[in-house]
Amino acid sequence: MRLSVVAVALLLLPLVAVLASAEQFDFFYLVQQWPGSFCDTQQGCCFPDTGKPAADFGIHGLWPNYAKCRSAGERELVGEMGLVDMGLRRKKCWPEYCNDGNPLSLWEIKDLVKQLDQSWPTLSCKSGKSMEFWSYEWRKHGTCSDLDQHGYFAAALALKARYNLTAILADAGIVPSDDDTYFLSSISDAIAEGTGFKANLECNRDASGETQLFQVYQCVDRSGKRLIDCPLPMQGKCRDRVKLPPF
């Protein structure tokens, strides 16, 4: 018996829905920031309502990313040829805001809140509530991760715990200091040796304009479980020597 076109379409709908909901990306960035560098700027920082965080790298986010920037924002011209206006293409290097109808629920991550307060605190002066920070990261990045809410935050926490950047740098003699500076290559080598994988580094400027290590971008496979060598180089605004200010 031949199936009608309508029947075939109905059978394929679940598969289409699954494919549409699965976000396509190539790897994650696990981004951790040094709190001393976040605060030691002209803008400064504010502590969350849970108090001053530990002097330790804190999670900024777990961000799905493309290995190669893609064209986005194309507009089709309606006509016999079905042409595409190539002039309206723009580059998109990561997916974001994939499901605004899925806000973060505290209930879903209730068993992780203590760890999140310690490892993923906000330093922004906008609210002082880390839950708002987590909600933003989930809405912008987590909804594109193909992970549920609990799995997304648990993955970031597990990776941070497995590879303690503060301890890895300290073992290499790279410790917070008001006066000392460190070769950027020494920091990069220490992280590669301590984790087994190369990471990307980002710097910012302190209130007097000196360069300081700000964020470490570790690359993670699509499962969110294993580190990989970063497939993309990064222009992280760093110089040959950088500071790691106390917090």
**Which residues carry out catalysis?**
60, 137, 141
Residues contacting residue 44 through CB under 8 Å, at least 6 positions apart: 125
**What SS3 class is residue 164?**
coil
CA 29 centroid distance within chain = 5
C-alpha distances (whole Å) from 215 to each of 37, 50, 75 are: 9, 23, 36
* 111-142 residues labelled b (16+ CB within 10 A) or e (exposed): ebbebbbebbbbbbeeebebbebbbbbbbbbb
Q: Is the dihedral of CA 126, 131, 135, 138 positive or negative?
A: positive
Contacting residues for 108 by C-beta, under 8 A, at least 6 apart = 148, 149, 150
For the chain, the helix, strand and coil percentages under 3-state DSSP, each to the nearest 5: 35, 20, 45
DSSP code, position 138: H
Residue pair 56/166 in contact by the 8 Å Cβ criterion: yes
